[in-house]
Amino acid sequence: MKILVCISHVPDTTSKINFTENSSKFDKNNVQFVINPNDEFGLTRAIWFKEKAGAIVHVINVGLHETEATLRKTLAIGADKAFRINIEPMDGYSVAKCISDFINEKDYDLIIAGRESIDYNGGMVPGMISALNNINFIDKCVGLEIEGKKVRACRECDGGKENISTTLPLIIGSQKGLVEESDLKIPNMRGIMMARQKELIVVEPGQIDIKSKSVNFEKPKEKAEVKLISSDNLDELINLLHKEAKVI
């Protein structure tokens, strides 16, 4: 089985977010970048398929040179080979199109992307790839078992779960639940040494089409001071929620 994991390179969850160039661009200065958490769950599941069933695991990122440290980390965790499509990501569509063109020339059985990236929160790339390449798609995947071409998967939906059967080739939107947090691997010294020997191949993009672009960013306004209510005056809280906030 050949697996491709799409890796988005995102600011760490604790990062303070700032913008530059007249608030039109995300300020990458002083930001620690990590593997998008949803992608890391997917990558870990892929490494299990490698360890238990001999799968080959490739990773791909659409991004400039700066993302290579993140890709090296995926190699240290256990991916076999990394690809970087050398272009600054512009919108979800162009990223999906780049990855879709890349897949077209290969024969991956399983493609894993995160349900959503924690930077732009598009939640669009995996669905778009599935439609561009006409392959089965399961979003918010929290369970995945594969035997031959047969797939049994579990999807989280609002208020519950669905058990789904389908076939390869398949793309999933991965998230926590596919593996647990405690299953995530921290690269060890040996992994890091081995990653240096592994291939990281830079691919030049084909023609790029975009369908949307960022114009500017704004940070939410500082919140007004909290109204503190004494714990012996809960009637006041109920009153405020009813009359002022009108939420109960």
Partner 1 sequence: MSVLIFAETERGKFKKDALELASYGRSISDEIKSKLVAICINSNNPEELSKYGVDKIICVNNNDLENFNSKNFSDCISNVFLKEKSQFLILSSSSNSRYIGGILSIYTKAAYVSNVFSKPTKYKPLQLRRNSFTNKAYETVEVISDKVIISLCRNSYGIIENKVKSEVVSETFKIANNDILVSSTEKLSDKVSIADADIVVSGGRGLKGPENWHIIENLADVLGAATACSKPVSDSGWRPHSEHVGQTGKPVASNLYIAIGISGAIQHLAGINSSKIKVVINTDPDAPFFKSADYGIVGDAFEVVPELIEKLKKFKSLNN
Size of the site for partner 1 (CB under 8 A): 75
Q: Is 32 in the site for ligand FAD (CB under 6 A)?
A: no
User: Rg (Cα) of the chain, in Å, rounded?
Assistant: 21
Q: Cβ(66)–Cβ(28) under 8 Å?
A: yes
Q: 16 or 246, CB closer to ligand FAD? A: 16
Draw the binding track, 81-110, toward partner 1 (x: CB under 8 A; -: no contact): -----------xx--x--------------
21: Cβ–Cβ under 8 A, 6 or more apart, which residues?
Answer: none
Q: 19 or 120, CB closer to ligand AMP? A: 120
2, 3, 13, 144: residue in contact with ligand FAD (rule CB under 6 A)? 13
User: Which 4-23 residues touch ligand AMP, going by CB under 6 A?
Assistant: 6-8
166: Cβ–Cβ under 8 A, 6 or more apart, which residues?
Answer: 136, 138, 151, 153
Q: Is 61 in the site for ligand AMP (CB under 6 A)?
A: yes
Q: Cβ(131)–Cβ(92) under 8 Å?
A: no
User: Which 92-151 residues touch ligand AMP, going by CB under 6 A?
Assistant: 92, 95, 113-114, 116-117, 120-126
Q: At its nearest, how many Å lie between partner 1 and the CB of residue 77?
A: 18
Alpha carbon 237 to its chain's center: 40
Q: Is 208 in the site for partner 1 (CB under 8 A)?
A: no
1, 19, 56, 86: residue in contact with partner 1 (rule CB under 8 A)? 19
Query: Can you tell me whether residue 169 is helix, strand or coil?
Result: coil
Exposure on the CB side of residue 133, measured as CA atoms within 13 A: 29
Max Cα distance, the chain (Å)? 68
